[in-house]
Amino acid sequence: MSADEITALSLTDVAAKIAVKELSAVEVTEASLDRIERHNEALNCIAHADPEDALAQAQKADETLAKDGPVGPLHGVPLAHKDMYYRAGRVSACGSKIRADYVPDITSSALKKLDAAGALEVARLQMVEFATGPTGHNEMAGTPRNPWNTDHITGGSSSGSGSAVAGRMVYGALGSDTGGSIRIPAYCNGLVGMKATYGRVSRYGAMPLSFSLDHVGPLCRTVTDCAVFTQVIAGNDPDDPTTSREPVGDYLSDIEGGVRGLRLGVPKNHFFDDVDDEVREAIQASIEIYQKLGAKIVEVEVPGIKHGFALGEVLGRVEAATYHSTWLRERPEDYGTQTRNRLMQGFYYPGTRYIEALNLRGQLLSGFTDEVFSVADILIAPSVPMAVPTIAETDMSANQGFLDMIARFGSCTRPFNFLGLPALGLPCGFTGNGLPTGYQIVGRSFDEATLFRAARAFERETGCTDNAPAL
């Protein structure tokens, strides 16, 4: 197989071929590194790659396979991750100047679990500075570019993760999601991205932004890839007291079970209020496919959702400002303008408003669960309400309507960070500009399995993840 044929395989397919020695981890890693070498100049999604170390990992994986067999479901598979996951003894720059030389002495729990599953880490990926923006812009480290059209944004803040996975440089990547930063890059790059339930995946050793809203999760090419990846990193972690003891279950056991009899809720309020026609039409066509596959379509009134958006903003802004307060006082010039402006907003909320947001979270989640999931099993909604814009259109210095655009950009994803519900982003075609479009499906707390099952039924019917950008 050629390098491009190898990198075109899905994560699960390449893992299977490595396990039966049809391909070696070295061959697959060489193909991944070749792709990085040829295309990163155009995409700017790699923060750092060490080919010598990557090949050493691959050689060791092949030796282990020959002696003992595969150590886990990702044995020998090259991955790369958003540059905010700490690995002891290695730089983790967080897309910033301030942490350009930061070397942690701990390794994140998510990376440890991927290591234990046999995965290789071949690069660190670019990201929005300190994970503070939804478009992907980074004036400090450079802005990654969308492999479908390099004039367009990748979405953020997991910008490098979206670009590298869609560009077939690696088979999957960790992102993070505080207001949509997994689901937005999934939308922009034609990928599958899972923000699992709050507490489902450990955040230990991942750069914090907002304690109440941060989620760890993957960006992958297919639904099954995403289910396997999420399965590996999910579960309770003694190092992260916010992780749940709720059993994870098996995301693959019923993934081919289809959607017959499943109740798909379509929101009557908020989510479709300000959506471009071509995005609305693509989602409506997707709803009709679910109906064709046997799902029951029900319209639902979503309670308190605009409050959830506003209160989530309070939590996110205040907690981020608190985390960055010392640097903002002592090194304000070392932040990019957009990042500094966004972080500074958190200092202007009164403490009473922050406490109110915390106290109302459980009440709004309870109301949402009672009203929505009493009549529906999952909810479908836009991920982003517009076609993927260009880098120029979303540049703060060039666009007078920048703040309004940013608020609109994350209007559909942010509420589910506040509520902590699992949400899976999935592609469903292309808009008139040739860029991907998609939607998200949202489930009950800790019911990621139903989301994977529904998404897999749609993927199987439509081939929505079969397309790849031409680089």
Residues of the chain with pLDDT > 90: what percent?
A: 94
Q: What is the mean pLDDT of residues 125-130?
A: 98
471: pLDDT strictly greater than 70 = yes
What does the DSSP assignment read for 245-283? -S----TTTTTTS--TT-EEEEESSSTTTT--HHHHHHH
Active site residues: 82, 157, 181
Are 200 and 244 a contacting pair, CB within 8 Å?
Answer: yes
Q: What is the mean pLDDT of residues 416-443?
A: 98
Are 308 and 344 a contacting pair, CB within 8 Å?
Answer: no
446: pLDDT strictly greater than 70 = yes
The two beta strands, 120-125 and 78-82, are: parallel
Task: Read off the amino acid at residue 319.
Answer: E
Phi, psi (rounded to 5 degrees) for 146: -80, 125
Question: How high is the pLDDT of residue 307?
Answer: 87
Cα 90 to Cα 192: distance, rounded to the nearest angstrom: 29
Express each pLDDT in 340-360 by its tens digit.
999 999 999 999 999 999 999
Six-digit token pair at 171?
């088979």
Question: How high is the pLDDT of residue 399?
Answer: 64
Six-digit token pair at 259?
């959607």
Express each pLDDT in 53-90 by its tens digit.
999 999 999 999 999 999 999 999 999 999 999 999 99
Q: Which of 381, 412, 380 is CA-nearest to residue 263?
A: 380
Question: How high is the pLDDT of residue 4?
Answer: 96
pLDDT interval class at 405 (50, 70, 90)? confident
Lowest mean pLDDT among 84-88, 106-110, 408-412: 408-412
374's CB contacts (< 8 A; 6+ apart) are: none
Strand order in the sheet with 46-49: 46-49, 120-125, 78-82
Helix (H, G, I), strand (E, B) or coil at 430: strand
Phi, psi (rounded to 5 degrees) for 299: -85, 140
- pTM score over 0.95: yes
pLDDT interval class at 406 (50, 70, 90)? confident
142 CB-side CA count, 13 A: 14
Six-digit token pair at 62?
């092949």
Cα three-residue angle 239-203-199, rounded to 5 degrees:
90
Residues of the chain with pLDDT > 70: what percent?
A: 99
Are 180 and 413 a contacting pair, CB within 8 Å?
Answer: yes
Express each pLDDT in 269-294 by its tens digit.
999 999 999 999 999 999 999 999 99
Express each pLDDT in 139-194 by its tens digit.
999 999 999 999 999 999 999 999 999 999 999 999 999 999 999 999 999 999 99
Beta strands in 321-361 (DSSP E): none
Cα 393 to Cα 180: distance, rounded to the nearest angstrom: 20
Helix (H, G, I), strand (E, B) or coil at 427: strand
Q: What is the DSSP letter of 154?
A: -
Helix (H, G, I), strand (E, B) or coil at 121: strand
262's CB contacts (< 8 A; 6+ apart) are: 290, 294, 295, 296, 377, 378, 450, 454
Express each pLDDT in 209-267 by its tens digit.
999 999 999 999 999 999 999 999 999 999 999 999 999 999 999 999 999 999 999 99
Q: How many residues appear in the chain?
A: 471
Are 14 and 23 a contacting pair, CB within 8 Å?
Answer: yes
381: pLDDT strictly greater than 90 = yes
Question: How high is the pLDDT of residue 407?
Answer: 79
Cα 270 to Cα 304: distance, rounded to the nearest angstrom: 10
Task: Read off the amino acid at residue 128.
Answer: V
453: pLDDT strictly greater than 70 = yes
Q: What is the mean pLDDT of residues 433-439?
A: 98
In 413-423, which positions are buried (b, 16+ CB within 10 angstroms) versus exposed (e)?
bbbbbbbbbbb
Are 176 and 275 a contacting pair, CB within 8 Å?
Answer: no
Are 378 and 267 a contacting pair, CB within 8 Å?
Answer: no
pLDDT interval class at 309 (50, 70, 90)? confident
Express each pLDDT in 253-274 by its tens digit.
999 999 999 999 999 999 999 9
